[in-house]
Amino acid sequence: MTGQHPAVQGLGQGRCLIMADVALTHDGSLGLAHAFIDAVAGAGADAVKFQMHIAAAESTPSEPFRVAFSRQDRSRYEYWRRMEFTEEQWQGLADHCRDRNVLFVSSPFSIDAVEMLERIGQPLWKIASGETSNAPLLDRVLRTGAPVLLSTGMSPLAEIDAVVQKVRSHGVPVGVFQCTTAYPCPPEKIGLNLIAEYRDRYRCWVGLSDHSATIYAGLAAAAIGIDMLEVHATLSRDMFGPDVIASVTTAELRQLVEGIRFIERMRASPVDKDAAAQDTAPLRRLFTRSLVARQALPAGTVLTREHLAIKKPGTGLAPERLDEVIGRRLRRPVEADHLLTADDIDGLIPS
């Protein structure tokens, strides 16, 4: 699977990799995790991303909640425990993704998680912003040789500089997501300007990890050109979990995917205005106007402005030739609403 899926091959080639981040919104239910895979695949996204938390490998029983959201878990540690799947269950999720032709990706939060994910197989690594300074974890990830996509939500530029250099020093492809650690993220803090800055600074894949709970940020980022987009996804905003408030629904995800693909086709298809005008020449004759006789006129009439009207269609003399026509004589009699041509008027040169 690594490197073979079109979404991976398309990185940097004008096709945005769209990653739906389920994270922990499955709430520890294996069945719900599988339902998310079907929903995300049905919406047309390229990848389903989870988070692999192994409580004993990354946390201590005393870890507090940053935000107390759970009525059933007394500590963050207990919550991590409840989110765990066995390796066999994770393998089943990865196999389900392959069956639906979407990428399976899970962010690791411990070396144990990296090793399990390496055994299961995934095409790339998404490193959460809180883990970019976790040197042992990153070293272990880099040993796999798979591309690394870095989130930057809590990182100053100096830290991003260092981690990008570290990834590159191992010969590993790297991407940088602009990310703001706010749930949901207001438009003033999304930081679209940083996407171009990262592209110039790092000369690598760039993208947006969006927490706005809308499709707007992703569409705007696609319009300025991104290689990858990560967006939290939920089946419903009535679901339980800390990420739901910053998620789009899978129905909205479908709109987002369709919008991004539409934008990509626009960006890849520059229009030659003169060629386009030639293509619409038959329509132009229908929608533009001609000089016409306002009334029946005999041959020899010296034409004045009062003799003429400007009406559709545009298959006769163009209205901009009005000044040329005034003062000239008719060669032949014409009926009212006759579309004048150069042959009708003495001394008029055909256009």
- pLDDT band, very low/low/confident/very high, at 2 (cuts 50, 70, 90): very low
Q: Is the pLDDT of residue 238 over 90?
A: yes
For 241, the token pair is 């979990």
Residue bearing tokens 């004045």 = 304
Q: What is the mean pLDDT of residues 319-326?
A: 96
Structural domains in the chain? 7-267 (3.20.20.70), 275-344 (3.90.1210.10)
Q: pLDDT, tens digit, for every residue of 156-193?
A: 999 999 999 999 999 999 999 999 999 999 999 999 99
**Pick from 91, 100, 86: nearest CA to 36:** 100
How far apart (Å, rounded) are the C-alpha atoms in residues 23 and 21? Answer: 5
Residue 1: pLDDT over 60: no
Q: Is the pLDDT of residue 300 over 50?
A: yes
Is the pLDDT reported for residue 20 higher than 90? yes
Q: Which two tokens stand for residue 70?
A: 């759970």
**Is residue 315 helix, strand or coil?**
coil
Does the structure show a pLDDT above 60 at 3? no
Residue 281 has a pLDDT of 81
Q: pTM of the entire structure?
A: 0.86
Single out the residue of 72, 73, 71, 76 nearest to residue 58, CA to CA: 76
Tens digits of residue pLDDT in 80-107: 899 999 999 999 999 999 999 999 999 9
Whether residue 69 is predicted with pLDDT greater than 90 in this model: the reply is no
pLDDT value at residue 195: 97
The span from the CA of 280 to the CA of 75, in Å, is 67
User: Exposed, middle or buried, 174 (CB in 10 Å: 0-12/13-18/19+)?
Assistant: buried
**How does residue 5 score in pLDDT terms, banded at 50, 70 and 90?**
confident
The full DSSP string for 73-110 is: -SSHHHHHHHH---HHHHHHHHHHHHHTT-EEEEEESS
Is the confidence at residue 139, as pLDDT, over 90?
A: yes
Whole-number pLDDT of residue 170: 97
Q: How confident is the model over 232-242, as a mean pLDDT?
A: 94
